[in-house]
Each structure stands twice: as structure tokens, then as C-alpha cells.
Structure 1
Amino acid sequence: MFYRVQTFSRTQILQEFQIKCQSLAANKNRGFKEEFEELNEVGKYLPTRAGDSETNREKNRYPSILPYDHCRVRLSVQNSHLQSDYVNANFVPGGGSERDFICTQGPLQSTMADFWRMVWEQNVRIIVMVTALKYKDIVRKTN
């Protein structure tokens, strides 16, 4: 049995994307808002025991945003202290594998060393910040 894989040109893909975006933007961005609301349900059933454990709670910038146990980044254990493997970060697929990217919260002062240890241990080469430069009414100035 043969299955034919349908391919599309870059132009066709861009045209479809533009049509989809226009559709979502109609009625004051109603479609975008609806899709965003659907994200509230994504991952709710996945366990987050490591991030919610009493010893790790203080390591989370946002207590309601925890890494999923099945794909969290594990640091090497330091000095036989089992809880030293925790950082609030998850591996995320990007096309090549299940571990193409790492998503994490901005480190707290108390977790800065863990953040840089993760960067070192995972051989991270590029760091991208995708958030506003404002936190608790403090605006970070850029050069």
C-alpha cells in the first residue's frame, strides 16, 4: 500500500498562513483570543511533582508555572544532595528531537547558579529572552 505525501510550495504555505492569520484577526482578533484561551487546558493533566515539592517551591519564580516531570531538565546531583538536580526548566521539541530547546523562567537571585549550571551542563549555545523587560513595576533599561 502506498501513501502519497502531499507537499506544498513555500508560496502556498505563506498564502495559507496569511489567510489563517486574517481569519483569526477578524472581529477584533476574536480567533486569536479563542485559541489563546484554549491553551489554559494544555498540560493540566501532566504531573509537576518535582517543582511542587516543598524543597523546590522556593526555586520557582512563579508558583503556578512548574516544569512537567516527564521532560524537565535535570541538573547533575551535587554533593549527594538529591534535591540539587532541580531547576524550573523543560526540554521542548523543535523539529529534530524532543530536546531541541529549553524553556525556563528567569532565574531568581537564589537560583542564578543553578541557571548557569544548566547552561553549562546542557551545552546551551544561544539564550533568548522572550518576555517584557518589566517585572513587578520595575522596568529594565537596555543599552
Structure 2
Amino acid sequence: GRFPRRYHGRVIAIEPAQKMLAVAQSQLASFPATERAQLLLVQQYAEQLPLPTAVADAVTCLEALEFFANPDQAIRELVRVLRPGGVLFLTRRHGLEAHLFLHRYRSQAKLHHDLTTLGMTDINEISWEIDYNLLIARKAHTR
């Protein structure tokens, strides 16, 4: 709810569940019309983002990666839509419960390697929540 008020520009929120989109829509009712106009809610999976390549200045994926059917594809899509120089904010689950997400858990080394392979630089990981760390990375400028 704070994102559109704090940043100038357009926000595109991607969510596959119609019920969650309905919750978001109801929360937006309290926003001024000018702010609501800057937010587009789209029903879609992160593994197939309905956006052109290199259009976003920033992409966030918070506390969601381990719930995706195909996290590797989702990460590729998140990076694909970033402009060169764009910033990715991505959380990585850690702690005892993290390993319960079979085939979806990402160690710090694995996620950093995957992001580097996809052209992300300046990768920093900080403590976020009890079970999550926040990664902040920049998409490399093309030469």
C-alpha cells in the first residue's frame, strides 16, 4: 500500500490469485484517484510476466519466490523486464523452515550465482524478516 505513495511513477502489481487481487483492489479504494491511476493490477504468474523486455526501473519480489512453481523461470523473468541499471529487490527464505520448500530453496551462494549468471551485479544481501533476507542487485549496463 505504501509503494505508490512513496515513489513517483507507475506500479504494475502481478498476482496470480484473483482473491488476492480483490483484496488489493479493496485496499486501493482509500487511495486518491490520481494515485490509483498509477497502479495496474494484473492477474498472472511471475514465470510469464506480461511485460516487454527491459521496461522496469525496479522489480520487487518479496516473500514469494519459494511459492512459485518454477522459481528459476520466475527469476529469469524478473531480470528480463529490468532495464540495464535497474534494481531488483528479492527476498530469500532462510532458517529451519526454508528447507521444507523442496527444489525451491535457494542457498545464498546459489541465488547469488544465478543472479550473476543472468547479468546482475552489486548483489547485497541483508537481514529482512525472521525467515527472510533481502537481496538488492543491479542489472548490468550493456556495452
Of Structure 1 and Structure 2, the greater helix share is in 1
- Identify whether the pair has TM-score above 0.5, normalized to the shorter chain: no
- 1 or 2, which has the higher strand percentage? 2
Relative contact order, higher structure (CA 8 A, sep 6+): 2
Please report the TM-score for the alignment, with normalisation by the length of structure 1.
Answer: 0.30
